[in-house]
Amino acid sequence: MKQVLTLLPDTFLWLKASAGLLYNAKTFEKDGFNCTPSLKSLCSALLFVDNLYSVEIEPENFTADEAEFVDLVIRKKYGFITRHPAKAYSLPPVLSIQNDIKKLENSPSKSFGEDILKYLTTLTIYAGGRFSGPLYYRQTFYPFHSESCLEDLEILNFLGHIHSRYIKKVNIVFSHIESTNFLISLTEKLKATAPAVVYYCHVRELSDNVTSVLTQPDVTTILICEYEPASLKVLNDFLASDESRNSFEFNFLIRSQTEYNYWEHLVAQYKIQLYRYIPIYDNNYAFFKQFVFLNEEDITNTRLSKRIVFAHQAVNINFFGKLVLLPDGLIYSNVNKPPIGCMQDSPYDLIKNELHRNFAWRVIRDQEPCSGCVYQWLCPSPCQYELILGKNNLCTIK
Ligand code: SF4
């Protein structure tokens, strides 16, 4: 007897060669299966847009593979069966955000300008100045060494020029802090004018004066902590003597298991409350492979909403909406790619340039090997580590 198999609107069905994956974005259930030739036509029919996620079935004529697949779909609530002809239809999860971006690319008119301003939500400003250290700013918030630095007025003018109500966050990363006056002036002025501001200061730059400015109640500062002798000495002295230590948040950079163990011990010893561990690639491939790369268990344990799966298909959720100003006045969507403009450009032109050139905001997992992998849209968006490592994936699977 003819029946109709329909997948639920929250179900994603992905096929890559002989691998198939069912994922329900509401229950977070997921099941891989072997997409044999007899299953392929059933699955392809389900995915054919005009069929609205439904397919006619005749269970008495099922192959063993088809029976097993349909049983899985029903048992794990990826879909349901109704009598033929079907009364219930389901809409496959389709992308709308991608259409928005295409429309935006095809519409050069300035009237669209206000619309695209909403995409820019976060600015990071590297104040610059001398700082001897590696080029870790290419991976995370870390001081950028430069001969010149931005004055407080230049930073304020830039923020005034690029201002829009959609910018929700400004990060300011210091290199060497030459003068406390600069720090006082900047923090005072930004309290009045900007959206949420987060300051990043390397632990080596801490002094009594710097600490007193950056630990004010209405100032948020993240201390960049690096495992090297000069930094460890300053950090330990500060933690041992300063009661305001929990006014800071801490970014602990990690390049090895030893460094992780050290930070973990410090966190426990000083009861540090707000902290993050940030892996840093520095010729430590084995460490990355063991602790940073995703394995199959990590991926099958992910619980992503339909919204996030869509986002992975259309935009890079690590980079989307973010721009970076380096001390030479150039602006980047990704500091590992060429600049998209300079600080005098209008925000409209900067956003348009990035949408056009796509150095970061829409870099998704559409390259080999991810494009041939069933986990393509479950995995996190590509990140800086992949660029630094020269790889398109960050997993132990392919
Ligand atoms: S990183 Fe790419 S290759 Fe690795 S599991 Fe994710 S999608 Fe597949």
Are 243 and 316 members of one domain? yes
Q: What pLDDT is attached to residue 366?
A: 96
Q: Provide the pLDDT for residue 1.
A: 78
Answer yes or no: is 60 within a domain: yes
User: Could you tell me if 208 and 61 lie in one domain?
Assistant: no
CATH number of the domain bearing residue 325: 3.20.20.70
Same domain flag for 69 and 23: yes
Q: Are residues 49 and 121 in the same domain?
A: no
The answer to whether residue 396 sits within a structural domain is: no
Domain stops at, among 34, 68, 83? 83
Two structure tokens written together for 321: 């909406």
> Which residue has the CA at smallest separation from atom 3 of ligand 1?
370
- Among the candidates 83, 108, 135, a domain finishes at 83
Within a domain: 94: no
Residue type, 73: V
Helix (H, G, I), strand (E, B) or coil at 113: helix
One domain for residues 79 and 135: no
Residues 272 and 138 in one domain: yes
Assess if residue 93 is contained within a domain: no
pLDDT, position 53: 85
Q: Give residue 313 CA to ligand 1 midpoint distance, Å.
A: 13
How far away, in angstroms, is 395 Cα from ligand 1 center? 6
Parallel, antiparallel or unpaired: strands 330-332 and 341-342: antiparallel
Q: Are residues 241 and 373 in the same domain?
A: yes
Q: Whose CA is nearest to atom 1 of ligand 1?
A: 393
d(CA 187, CA 116): 29
CB 146 within 8 A of CB 99: no
CA distance 233 to 49: 62
Q: Cβ(206)–Cβ(223) under 8 Å?
A: yes
Ligand 1 atom closest to the Cα of residue 376 is: 7
Residue segments in the chain with a per-residue pLDDT below the cut of 70: 85-114, 194
The pLDDT value recorded for residue 360 is 96
Question: How far does residue 47's CA lie from ligand 1's centre (Å)?
Answer: 22
Q: What is the pLDDT of residue 376?
A: 96
Q: Which residues contact 333 (CB under 8 A, 6 or more apart)?
A: 319, 322, 323, 324, 340, 354, 359, 360, 361
Of 33, 68, 83, the last residue of a domain is 83
- For residues 248 and 300, give the distance between their C-alpha atoms in angstroms, rounded to a whole number: 35
The pair of three-digit structure tokens given for residue 247, joined into one six-digit string: 């006014």
Q: Is any atom of ligand 1 closer than 6 Å to the C-beta of 312? A: no
Both 257 and 173 in one domain: the answer is yes
Q: Which helix (H) or strand (E) holds 38?
A: helix 37-47
Ligand 1 mean position, distance from CA 350 (Å): 31
Please state, in angstroms and rounded to a whole number, the distance separating the CA atoms of residues 226 and 232: 7
Whether ligand 1 lies within 6 angstroms of the CB of 395 is answered as yes
106 within domain boundaries:
no
Which among 5, 1, 32, 38 is positioned nearest to 19, based on CA atoms? 32
Q: Do 179 and 268 reside in the same domain of the chain?
A: yes
Residue 76 lies in a domain: yes
* DSSP character string of 301-315: T----HHHHHHHHHS
Query: Helix H segments across 63-110?
Result: 64-75, 97-106
- Global pTM? 0.87
Instruction: Count structural domains, the chain.
Output: 2
- Is position 175 within any domain? yes
In a domain, 212, yes or no: yes
- Give the domain range for residue 43: 3-83
